[in-house]
Structure 1
Amino acid sequence: MNVTDLSMGSRPMNAKELTDKAKNFDWNPRIGFKYWARAAETIYHEGQVYLREGNVPKAYLVLFRFSTLVLEYLVKHPEAKEPESKRALKPLQRRIPRVIEQLETLRPEIDDTYDRWMRITAAQRDTLRSGEPFPAASSSTYAKHAANDPALSWSYASPANILDVQDHQDLAVDLAKKEMRRRRQASGLVGEDYGRRDSVQRGGQDRETGTIRLVPQDMDDDELRRQMEATRRQLDRSDDYARGYDDEDYIRPSTYYYPSITKSSPLKYERPVSRGRPEGPRLQPPRPPKERHVDRAPIEPPPRPDKDLYLERESPPIGPPPRPDKEPLALVTPPYSSRPSEERPAIPSKLNAEPAPQKRITFRPAGYLENGDPIRPVFLPSTLRHKFLKLAADNTRRGLEMCGVLCGTTVNNALFISHLVIPEQRCTPDTCETENESVMLDYCITNDLLVIGWIHTHPTQTCFMSSRDLHTQAGYQVMMPESIAIVCAPKYEPSWGIFRLTNPPGLPHILSCQRTETFHQHSVDNLYVEAGSPQGHVYESKALEFEVCDLRPGH
């Protein structure tokens, strides 16, 4: 971005910028296929959640990244032809047509928002920026990072209250619990247009009839290959359009089906009505006898109602209105039930005749990587570690390592660990290697879970990240920078720690390391750091619940 863009702070990104950002990730075929498959499943889940929350730019970015990873990279991985890899790849490929349809639906909204921003004057931009929930100009570091973060970039199509999670931890957990409860009650449905669950059967929706097309899970390879080639060509055309090319073969769909977004945890208020005729019939009280004096021209015009007085007109009065006194009837308003000031919607902007949309809550990044990229806050149930140690007790007594996978979801731009999954694994005194990854991926797909990190024991060693641990963590963190590694060393102090790779130098150095022995030295220091609060981005919560799923045979 240029200096002008940074000074604007929250200028919305256009489709070209989002596409370039989506393609900007470090592909490394030396990382095992199972880690890349996990990453693809994770970013797909993130995209669906961002759709639900109405964060259109972030949804577009991660869904485009998902399609790029599956279509261009996973199929070329050295392990792609192995049986387990094929089983893990097929459900990801079946999601491509739906993702392409979502991208085509979101792009017009992104372009429209950007075009409207470019059409307004500099003075109007200053007026809009004056109401942004960003820190003051003195916080130039945050403003610079926020300008490059689609999750925080300004969009008057979907405004947000941006909060600091450090000061609102209880609120973040409460919102997450309510949202996760809502999702469970919805039985996997996330929206009328976009939320059809992809577990046993996957498909799309017929645009003409609105009926769901189910794609059998046992689709043969030839049919799947033809479908993949068609969607690849469609993605190529979408990319050309995002770059601004004049492609005569590209035909913009005549009708776009915008997502029916269910807000994650919106501030509750009634949408203001226009100052004209109210919507729907409204019973009027009988005209009081002293109202006739309104017909006489007053010496001075009555004062303009303020915002709160205008908002009070949203709801009809409960019971009869009070009898007016000497004031003109135009200023008599029904009783008003008090609400927090932040829940009152703003009067529609003069730049847009439509009423102001509901504001969603978004938590700002909990920190930044060494390269300046934002990392979202992660909430960890405080009792999860103790439960894991009980499950690993038998292995610990025998001197064998054991691992678990930390899964959860994202709500309001924060990550919440809600599941501890114990995968099938092969354990030794120094390593634990997961097996039969497709079973764990199926579990994550069925339960709409993303992989946020992992936890493992050091039964005979201290609490640190070994060279083998560093390479494993790189597989988690390459596509999700917030991913964490929890190490438990029950026989030593400290008995546990939460870590992440630095970036740089940690992540790029590990990704470029070609040594294959279990334990080896690295020539670079400062490869990983503590990730727990307050210096890190992980917050423990006693109020956060979690489930355990043990996928090991016989458990």
Structure 2
Amino acid sequence: MASNMIPTGGTAPQSVESITRIAQVYEYNSSVPLRYWLRTAATLLREAHIYEREGHDEQAYFILFRHAQLVLVNLSKHPDTKKNEEDRKALIAAEKEVQKNLGKLEVLKPRINKRYERYTQLMRERDSRKQPLQAAFVPEPRGVIPDPALVGVVEPLEAGENRDLAVRLAQSELNRRATARISKGSSGPSAEELESRRGAGVWGDWDTQLKPDNRTTDQDLSQRIQNIRSNIDNPLGQRAKASNTFSTTSAYKYPSVPRQKPLEPTVSSAQIAILDKNVQRHAPPILPPKEHMAPSRAIIDDIAPSLPAKVLPAPALPNKVLPSDDASAPEANLNPSSYTFKPSAYLENGTPLRSVFLPGNLRSRFLSLAAANTNANLETCGILCGTLVSNALFISKLVIPEQTATSDTCETVNESALFDYCDSEDLMTLGWIHTHPTQTCFMSSRDLHTHCGYQVMLPESIAIVCAPSKNPDWGVFRLTDPPGLKSVLNCTQTGLFHPHAEENIYTGALRPPGHVYEHTDLEFETVDLRP
């Protein structure tokens, strides 16, 4: 979709007006199929829920508002709504999610503005005394866009210098979420949760969940958005760059990406308690105004997982809980809301990239599963799934989808099973991995088009290429932006190997200088969905 970062001049708190104005500035391409945009929208919501739970009000508000903008303004006019009944019903479900989230926006708004007003008051007092503020916010270097999740954070952490802490933090949080899902497994997901899954783009029995006349809610939803618009100077209808930035002539069929929501906009940080002790940094969960609405904290974490076809043991099986005095609970002192990790790299346009942590043993595990295909000169692909914790992304699952392959291609089949599994486990898709049985380690034109479908929805998405018979035998890549992402989006060539005009169309993503860290202690699970 576009950047998930908000362009600001520093890390000081922002007003709702500023956040809303920036949330409307993104690049939208109507040539990307609607079903992929709907999964992008679902991914946005998952991110918003996590940031909300961790106390990042600004970030949660930014993502929720952009989600509303994307669904009500852009997707409602997508050409696929007139071609596919299933897509149209999925859009209706997404609009219902917007309706529920409008209440959250109204609750977050006064809290954000209160922090902003308190900060500006302190700044005025400082200026009047001509003394530096005790906890001054340090601007980012010139030429780069600050990470919105750092808004108001006085001491964010460098991910590279705190890798062990990041991994322990992520493992503790993943264990907590798994425990929550297991505890709810006996009763299973509620009817409302199932509907929410379908709204995130999961194919299912739409007719029993959504009534044909639900489309009549459009005017009501639009009116509620108008109520929010009236409180800002730059209304949604006058967004600067929110639509049709890309060419709509692309004929390339984008791959299915098991991504729940566009991982895009990211504003954030309610961590400004150092400026105002009266403002609680970790606010309680936002309760929606209506009884039929699910509480904001009833995120997909608590949905009972669907059992995959096969779950293979990872090199190191993850403990249910990290070692502690109480072996039945996660490490008590590792609270994700107490930490925020800085971006570790930037796109070519200056947008910050959140750190991605990759298990050190994942490649060897994948190659062992792909060995039979590799020996037969057939490609194998896998999906890298994980979650967001403290403004960093952690790969925790290697999912092998059902697939067909040749010596130069690999295509997923039965995508609904892949989507269902990712949804049931509350997973974000962070990229993909595939083999080059006989070729060198590079991104072919087909690979570039495939990866475009991931990165358009999540800037941090990565592509891992394994070429076991060559040297180097592996690499971690992303598209440049610019020019790579837009160039591939606008490319109409369909051959397996075709040239692109730009030379620097992709680049390495492994740190340094990229945003991906390998860590041998990061546990992961292998899930094989092949028959």
- The answer to whether TM tops 0.5 is yes
Output aligned runs, 1:6-45, within 5 Å.
Answer: 9-45=10-46
Change (3 A) 1:112 1:466: same
- Please, which runs of 5 or more residues in structure 1 have no aligned partner? 1-5, 204-214, 246-343, 353-357
Task: State the Cα RMSD in Å.
Answer: 3.7
For the 8 Å contact 2:24–2:66, the answer to whether it is kept is: yes
- Aligned residues of 2:144 and 2:351 also touching (Cα < 8 A): no
Distance 1:86 1:422, change over 3 A: farther
Aligned to 1:165: 159
2:480 maps to 502
Whether 2:221 is the aligned partner of 1:220: answer no
User: Are residue 152 (structure 1) and residue 154 (structure 2) matched?
Assistant: no
Deviations 1:353-403 (A, max 9, x none): xxxxx9721111101111111001000111111222222223223322222
Change (3 A) 1:144 1:388: same
When Rg is computed on C-alpha atoms for both structures, the one with the higher figure is: 1
Q: Which residue of 1 aligns with 2:224?
A: 234
Number of the residue aligned with 2:116: 114
For 1:169 and 1:48, the matched residues in 2 are separated by 24
Q: Which residue of structure 1 lines up, in the alignment, with residue 342 of structure 2?
A: 364
Tell me which residue corresponds to 1:395: 373
1:185 pairs with 2:187: no
Output aligned runs, 1:2-401, within 5 Å. 9-80=10-81, 81-82=83-84, 85=87, 89=91, 92-124=94-126, 142-144=140-142, 148-154=146-152, 159=153, 161-187=155-181, 199-202=193-196, 218-243=208-233, 348=277, 360-401=338-379
Do the aligned partners of 1:42 and 1:449 also contact (CA within 8 Å) in 2? Answer: no
Contact persistence 1:33–1:79 (CA under 8 A): yes
Deviation at 1:451, TM superposition (A): 1.2
Is contact 1:88-1:438 (8 Å) kept?
no
Q: CA deviation at 1:483?
A: 0.8
SS of equivalent residue, structure 1 residue 187: helix
Q: Closer, same or farther in 2 for the Cα pair 1:34/1:489, shift >3 Å?
A: farther
Any idea what the Cα deviations from partners look like across 1:230-274, whole Å, max 9, x if unmatched?
3233223323323378xxxxxxxxxxxxxxxxxxxxxxxxxxxxx
Distance 2:39 2:512 in 1: 29
Count of residue pairs brought into register by the alignment: 422
| Contact 1:458–1:488, Cα closer than 8 Å, also in 2 | yes
Q: Quick check: 1:467 aligned with 2:457?
A: no
The question of whether the paired residues in 2 share the 8 Å contact of 1:405 and 1:420 is answered with yes
Question: Conserved in 2, the CA contact under 8 Å of 1:84 and 1:437?
Answer: no
Equivalent residues of 2:462, 2:476 under 8 A apart: yes
Aligned equivalents of 1:7, 1:65: Cα separation in 2: 17
Change beyond 3 A, Cα 1:43–1:429: same
Q: How does 1:450-529 map to 2 (within 5 A)?
A: 450-529=428-507
Distance across 2 between alignment mates of 1:128 and 1:436 = 65
3-state SS, counterpart of residue 490 of structure 1: coil
Post-superposition shift, 1:172? 0.6
Per-residue displacement from partner, 1:12-42 (whole Å, max 9, x unpaired)? 2222322232222221233344543332222
CA displacement, residues 256-299 of structure 1 (integer Å, 9 cap, x when unaligned): xxxxxxxxxxxxxxxxxxxxxxxxxxxxxxxxxxxxxxxxxxxx
Indicate the percent of aligned positions where both proteins have the same amino acid: 43
Question: 457-466 or 427-436, which moves further after superposition?
Answer: 427-436
Residues 88 and 441, structure 1, Cα contact 8 Å, conserved in 2: no
Question: By how many angstroms is 1:179 displaced?
Answer: 1.1
Moved more, 112-121 or 525-534: 112-121
Q: CA deviation at 1:65?
A: 2.0
TM-score normalised per structure 1: 0.67
Q: Is the 8 A contact 2:93 2:195 kept in 1?
A: no
The amino acid across from 2:361 in the alignment is T
Q: Distance in 1 between matches of 2:276 and 2:79?
A: 57
**Is the Cα–Cα contact under 8 Å of residues 36 and 475 in structure 1 kept in the other structure?**
no
Structure 2 letter corresponding to 1:28: N
Deviation at 1:531? 0.6
Q: Distance in 2 between matches of 1:401 and 1:463?
A: 13
Q: Which amino acid aligns with 1:124?
A: R
- SS of the counterpart of 2:117? helix
In the superposition, the TM-score normalised over structure 2's length comes to 0.70
* 8 Å CA contact 2:71, 2:94 repeated in 1: yes
Which 10-residue stretch deviates more, 80-89 or 53-62? 80-89
1:446: how far off? 1.9
Which residue is 2:426 aligned to? Answer: 448
Q: Distance in 2 between matches of 1:105 and 1:120?
A: 24
Secondary structure, in 3 states, of the residue corresponding to 1:518?
coil
Q: 1:43 to 1:493 in 2, by over 3 A?
A: same
* SS of structure 2 residue aligned to 1:533: coil
Q: Report the CA distance shift for 1:431/1:25 in structure 2 as closer, same or farther (over 3 A).
A: farther
User: What displacement does 1:484 show?
Assistant: 0.5
Greater relative CO, 1 or 2 (CA 8 Å, sep 6+): 2
